[in-house]
Structure 1
Amino acid sequence: MASVSSDPEQLSLSSLGKAGQSSGEIDSAQVPLINGERHSENYSVLAAIVPFLFPALGGLLYGYDIGATSCATISVESATLSGTTWYDLSSVEIGLITSGSLYGALIGSILAFNVADFLGRRRELMVAAVLYLVGALVTALTPNFVIMVIGRLVFGIGIGLAMHAAPMYIAETAPSQIRGQLISLKEFFIVLGMVAGYTIGSFLVDTVAGWRYMYGVGSPLAVVMGIGMWWLPASPRWLLLCAIQGKGNMQDLRQTAISCLCRLRGEAMGEDSVTEQVDEILAELSYMGEEKEASLAEMFQGKCSKALLIGTGLVLFQQITGQPSVLYYAASILQSAGFSAASDATRVSILLGVLKLIMTGVAVMVVDKVGRRPLLLGGVSFMVVSLFLLGSYYTFLDDAPAVAVIALLLYVGCYQLSFGPIGWLMISEIFPLRLRGRGLSIAVLVNFGANALVTFAFSPLKALLGAGPLFFAFAGIAIVSLVFIYFIVPETKGLSLEEIEAKLL
């Protein structure tokens, strides 16, 4: 087996002639993998899991930031617990601390559009880890409010890059039999991070300058993530894309891809089998016209536009079907039902976080058996029911708090079975390889942009419409999303990334 270079993404850029012929729309009869017999993709479980863990730390740190910030904002504006002279912050300043990482994530998503295919998935995650570390330390050690906001922005840029590159790296390196489980498990790590943030924050919220410790906790994990990504091999598919686009020596890149795939699959898959799989992928990329670099205009044409519609549609509906609003009302709903913990917003957050964790775990276990579409259709259908129940509670069933509690738990659970993990899974699978970097950056930008829009529009809409009509409106949007899923979103269970492009787009 060829030795793996210390950084296989930093190969010479000597250009060779392109391999294969360019084609427009895919003719599946021409694609060797589709027409021929697929090679059995054996793998070592340990070898397949390890490349997932380090990218997933990017999701863990994202979730941790959400949970920790909810507690940190309480600590930083306390006259007795802040430990600063600038604790008297306005609501706008607190909003900047809270949403600073979101603004940074939007910037990171825009940056990813131009640098993703140049850096490669692995090095993009290494850059994200550095930004996580710098952002966490700057925020924790900040001498004033302005520097704190800068730290939050830097951390957020790391979030944008990590949420862009992690799904791609996992999708491109995972065996197709467990690809859905591993990418969905990244959502599990996000929720796990949220629960950890809420829990650690609840312990430190009464400590002087506790907010500094809350933000500082993330820095060791960022170091582990960065070292882990440096140690992991590059994405073989990204290397082969570089080869087919003439961005390096074809044979060197092919041999490096074989070496990387051998590491990713372990001893269960012999070198001959790995070589055969790499050559299959290389031939498919050639037949599918991957030798040209993607342009912005191409993103909105042909099969690329279909992938963009599926990806951005899912992440848009993921955000505009009411999740922030439902969670906003969680404390008051549980309090009205007589739960003593409801008076403590942090404990309510932990309770719901544990439920989200359990339901995401269920989705992880069944996604590659049941499929993506059944989970989306079933989960969103029950989300519609729960939103109608919440709308009814705030309109004419205010004397039946049990209805609201059931609706709240049903909504949170079904969201984590459907939009929560499956949205991220589908956007990592659906884009053709040469468009995946740019396509996923657009999808992530839409995700964070819609998140910001819903967050900022919620209070004015609540004041204008009232809680009941607002939840009915979200139910209507969820029905539209069901129609979108039924008619537009394909089933990708069990298909390789190349088969998804050839058969479904």
Structure 2
Amino acid sequence: MLFGYDTGVISGVLVVLGDDLGGREVTSSEKEAITALCAAGALVGAIIAGVTSDKYGRRPAIWFSSILFTIGAIVQATSYSIAQMCAGRFLIGLGIGSASMIVPLYIAEIAPARFRGRMISVDMIFLGTGSVLAYAFDAAFYKVNHGWRYMIGIGAIPSIVLGILLFWCPESPRQLMFHGRREQCESVIRRIYGNASELQVQEKMLSIEQGVNAAKSLNEEISITKSMRLLFWVPANLRAGIAACGLMFFQQFCGFNTLMYYSSTLFDIVGFSNPIAVGSVVAVVNWIFTVLSIFIIDRVGRRKLLLCTMWAMPICLVVAAVAFIWVPIDHRTLELTSDHIGWPAYLVLVAMILFVAFYVAGLGCVPWQANEFLPMEVRAMGTMMINVFNWGPNIIVSATFLTMMKQITPSGTFGFYAVLCFLGWIFVFFCFPECSQMTLEEVRNVFEHGFGVKHANEWRREYKRGEKARGPQKRQSKV
């Protein structure tokens, strides 16, 4: 929720900052800097979490992010200069990057295989909830004098609650086993599988222990250098990394985050009198389709969901690009040359709503589950690389969007992102296998067969025919 709130709230803040930071209007380049520094902080935070989470565990990294969320919100809310605001956004970014790297990894390691997709979707639901709350508070304080300070400052409250609630969250059982804390690992397994028999608990423990021992046998002490070497030099690991990082790359370069950061600015450009309220519609659509994805992702499968939704995204962007041809905009200043809101503005709004719906249903959720492709010995480092491919392109998108709108026109900007969306669909078709229903240990075998698309499909056919044994889950469906 903090991830969604702190990335979404800036959309409204940029519209109402006025001259509160230094006694003059904030320029477009300064808005891009404020926005991009959050993504830059997230990139650094993801790297820090990636290189420390194996040594110190998953929970401490989440605690670290909650502290950064709190400090960053306070620094921003009390800002009276561009420099202080940028520093606050960078601190918030550190928290976002740490959380975005660790939380999906943590969920993947504690979730039963058949619930893993849905549980990570719950994480995405709260990300969408954070965005909706951000727009709600943006709208609530839109007319309030210096209201942007309240918009940002409110973000400190849930971060404090997060730090408190973590006392009731267990450490990852695979991390506990990895560090030789077998009794604690067994205790966590019994909490996760409340209805499991003693035999099923022991079989699950044995499965985790075998996976951990296999990782340790490759590297007695997984250093950063060795983990990176295993990730890039072992062909199966490299293919798994390409599939995971590539999908995250296309998630960012599809243009969605231009709406998260600049939707209020965008709808202000096309002429809507209350751009924050209009932007809220996009946030609500984001939330609704995130909720819908939780009911279909494990039933339909990650790959099929992507193939069935990503084809429509470039079409929506092309429609928006065409509509912008008739929007009367001075491309040098991005200001309207007419006060009339015509049909092109409404067409842009509809295209953006449909784009968000298709994005959230597939590409918005699935990449965060792709760390399931990565074997134990490179999972933390691979997840860090996924976040590098998340926040690296995010920095580029957030730092260039307004400039691109001026330099190559709004139509050219949206056309550019449409082409990247189409290339993403092609990437999924050839390089992204279906690994739902597999245990993390079974996923390892997929990338031993190229990118594993055909191998994974054959595995699913055998599983449906009952030819694949599922250990304790085969004997008792409640586990």
Same fold (TM over 0.5): yes
Identity among equivalent pairs (%): 28
Q: CA deviation at 1:241?
A: 2.6
Deviations 1:376-430 (A, max 9, x none): 111101113223333343458999646545433221110011111111122x311
Q: CA deviation at 1:465?
A: 3.2
Q: 1:475 to 1:142 in 2, by over 3 A?
A: closer
Does the 8 A contact of 2:302 with 2:436 survive in 1? yes
Q: 1:208 to 1:335 in 2, by over 3 A?
A: closer
Q: Check if 1:64 corresponds to 2:8.
A: no
Q: Within 2, Cα distance between the matches of 1:377 and 1:470?
A: 24
Aligned residue pair count: 426
Q: 1:335 to 1:365 in 2, by over 3 A?
A: farther
Does the 8 A contact of 2:317 with 2:417 survive in 1? yes
Deviations 1:6-60 (A, max 9, x none): xxxxxxxxxxxxxxxxxxxxxxxxxxxxxxxxxxxxxxxxxxxxxxxxxxxxxx1
2:3 partner amino acid? Y
Q: Secondary structure at the match of 1:268?
A: coil
Q: Secondary structure at the match of 2:114?
A: coil
Partner of 1:295: 227
Which residues of 2 match residues 474-489 of structure 1 at below 5 A?
474-489=417-432
Deviations 1:458-505 (A, max 9, x none): 334334433334333333222221111011101011111111113345
Q: Secondary structure at the match of 2:67?
A: helix
Q: 1:158 to 1:393 in 2, by over 3 A?
A: same
> Which of 240, 253, 257 is matched with 1:307 structurally?
240
Q: Within 2, Cα distance between the matches of 1:404 and 1:412?
A: 12
Which residues of 2 match residues 376-395 of structure 1 at below 5 A?
376-394=306-324
Q: Check if 1:280 corresponds to 2:207.
A: yes
Q: CA deviation at 1:438?
A: 0.9
Does the 8 A contact of 1:307 with 1:430 survive in 2? yes
Q: 1:330 to 1:98 in 2, by over 3 A?
A: closer
2:207 partner amino acid? E
> Which of 382, 390, 394 is matched with 1:451 structurally?
394
Which residues of 2 match residues 321-360 of structure 1 at below 5 A?
321-325=254-258, 342-360=272-290
RMSD: 2.7
Partner of 1:20: none
Does the 8 A contact of 2:267 with 2:278 survive in 1? no
Which residues of 2 match residues 417-432 of structure 1 at below 5 A?
417-426=361-370, 428-432=371-375
Partner of 1:204: 141
TM-score (norm 1): 0.77
Q: 1:446 to 1:358 in 2, by over 3 A?
A: same
Instruction: Structure 1: give runs of 5+ residues left out of the alignment.
Output: 1-59, 244-252
Does the 8 A contact of 2:239 with 2:447 survive in 1? no
Q: Within 2, Cα distance between the matches of 1:392 and 1:202?
A: 30
Q: Check if 1:371 corresponds to 2:304.
A: no
Q: Within 1, Cα distance between the matches of 2:74 and 2:267?
A: 37
1:273 partner amino acid? Q
Q: Secondary structure at the match of 1:158?
A: helix
Which residues of 2 match residues 19-418 of structure 1 at below 5 A?
60-78=1-19, 82=20, 86-88=22-24, 90-91=26-27, 92-142=29-79, 145-243=82-180, 253-265=181-193, 267-287=194-214, 291-292=218-219, 293=222, 294-301=226-233, 302-325=235-258, 342-394=272-324, 401=344, 404-418=348-362
Q: CA deviation at 1:98?
A: 3.3
TM-score (norm 2): 0.81
Q: 1:205 to 1:410 in 2, by over 3 A?
A: closer
Q: 1:504 to 1:67 in 2, by over 3 A?
A: same
Partner of 1:491: 434
1:488 partner amino acid? C
Does the 8 A contact of 1:112 with 1:161 survive in 2? yes
Q: Within 2, Cα distance between the matches of 1:100 and 1:197?
A: 19
Q: CA deviation at 1:315?
A: 0.8
Q: CA deviation at 1:75?
A: 4.2
Partner of 1:48: none
Q: CA deviation at 1:177?
A: 1.2
Q: 1:159 to 1:392 in 2, by over 3 A?
A: same
Q: CA deviation at 1:138?
A: 2.7
Q: CA deviation at 1:281?
A: 1.7
Q: Within 2, Cα distance between the matches of 1:141 and 1:281?
A: 48
Does the 8 A contact of 1:330 with 1:408 survive in 2? no
Q: Secondary structure at the match of 1:194?
A: helix
Q: Within 1, Cα distance between the matches of 2:410 and 2:160?
A: 43
Q: Within 2, Cα distance between the matches of 1:453 and 1:151?
A: 19
Q: 1:184 to 1:325 in 2, by over 3 A?
A: same
Q: Within 1, Cα distance between the matches of 2:347 and 2:76?
A: 42
Q: Within 2, Cα distance between the matches of 1:153 and 1:304?
A: 32
Does the 8 A contact of 2:117 with 2:297 survive in 1? yes
Identify which range, 286-295 or 304-313, moves more after superposition.
Answer: 286-295
